[in-house]
Chain A
Amino acid sequence: MKMKAIVTVTLKPSILDPQGEAVAHALQNMGVKGVQSVRIGKHIELEIEGGEEKALRAKLEEISKELLSNPVMENFHLDLRAGG
């Protein structure tokens, strides 16, 4: 069965996000009021051949830790669902 994994990578709260700040500033210039903060992350989609969910999840956790995110500065969230 084909599975889809969505890995969301975000900067740790302690890490300054100058990109997000620049966007927040641009929003202010647009005249948008009330935006408290902007944080920018990455949305990564993987299509994979499904197997036993627990093993698949473990593999994806490893991929996320080893390559897709850098644990020094980023957190990740894994969402695994059926379908391509």
Chain B
Amino acid sequence: MRFAVIQFPGSNCDQDCVHALQVLGQEARLVWHQETKIDPEEGVILPGGFSYGDYLRCGAIARFSPIMPAVKAAAGRGQVVVGICNGFQILCEAGLLPGALTRNEGLHFRCEKAFLRVETPASRFTSHYVTGEMLTIPIAHGEGCYRASPEILQELEAQQRVLFRYCNAEGQVVPEANPNGSSHNIAGICNAGRNVLGMMPHPERCCEAEMGGTDGRGILLGSAGIGRKI
């Protein structure tokens, strides 16, 4: 499958995403934020970084980039849209995902490996995993504290749209395992149509053994519509 990896001024994980997708046998092209077209067969990746220097709020300015109407249209047509880190923040600002990402509790920029618990295999993004499976995926963010109204949180839980939660090394979802203070230890969610994923951890940084892990492969392969090989 081919992916359009959107480059905003200040994106810095765009090349990593292209590389990881190519390692996984997928096609990827870089799309500058001033462009206005996404092909109907493409997946879309909003990569990590600091679009527009995080001015005003993370993702607040990128949301108004010329490419965004095409991204919204693609999401509306059911095409895969994946927002990683700053991409997750942009998806929330753009209203493609509910809630908002605020300053980490404790103020620290957290750059480390995080343990994630897969909450459900019922999405293309998690189809490679089983419920309760534990993944080790790097995080690197200062504003990843997920917040939403109690009604939205309830809806996300009821519809099994929380795909990943921060957990400890034993796979338990406990407050001490929460690196940023996110409500319900949320690390990644999807939209109601289950074709838009937003997550703070970086699956593209762990797709090769020599990069320290391969736990992110399933997320990107699943995004490409490739099922698990048994």
Contact = CB atoms under 8 A, between A and B. Distances in A.
Interface in B174-200: 181
B103 A19 contact: yes
A70 B107 contact: no
Given A67-B56, A67-B60, A67-B64, A72 B104 contact: no
A80 B142 CA distance: 34
Q: Which of B93, B103, B145 neighbours the largest number of chain A CB atoms within 10 Å of its CB?
A: B103
Contact of B102 (A21, A42, A68, A73): A73
A46 interface: no
A51 B92 CA distance: 34
B57 interface: yes
25 contacts: A11-B102, A15-B102, A15-B147, A16-B105, A16-B181, A17-B103, A18-B103, A18-B104, A18-B106, A18-B107, A19-B103, A21-B107, A22-B107, A42-B56, A67-B56, A70-B57, A70-B93, A70-B100, A72-B92, A72-B98, A72-B99, A72-B100, A72-B148, A73-B100, A73-B102
A12 to B, nearest CB: 9
Interface of A: 11, 15-19, 21-22, 42, 67-68, 70, 72-73
Nearest to A73: B100
A19 B147 CA distance: 16
Interface of B: 56-57, 60, 64, 92-93, 98-100, 102-107, 145, 147-149, 181
Given A18-B107, A73-B100, A68 B148 contact: no
B107 A19 contact: yes
Contacts of B92: 72
Contact of B60 (A15, A16, A18, A70): A70
Given A16-B181, A67-B60, A73 B107 contact: no
B100 A68 contact: no
A20 B148 CA distance: 20
